[in-house]
Amino acid sequence: MKEQMTVEMLRYQIAKYRVMGNGAMCQELTALLQKKLAAAVA
């Protein structure tokens, strides 16, 4: 449950930074999200 909340929060933050035009932060959070999703699968 906590992992799902973290993923949803990251997706929300990525969308927020994308709208604001902050590409660097968006890329950083996307990389973090990918790591979390990969760890959840493994």
**The pLDDT value given to residue 12:** 97
pLDDT in tens, 1-42: 788 889 999 999 999 999 999 999 999 999 999 999 998 887
Q: How many residues does the structure list for the chain?
A: 42
**The pLDDT value given to residue 16:** 96
Is the C-alpha dihedral spanning 7, 11, 12, 14 positive or negative? positive
**The pLDDT value given to residue 4:** 82
Q: Where are the domains of the chain?
A: 2-41
Residue type, 10: L
d(CA 42, CA 40): 6
**The pLDDT value given to residue 40:** 83
| pTM for this entry | 0.83
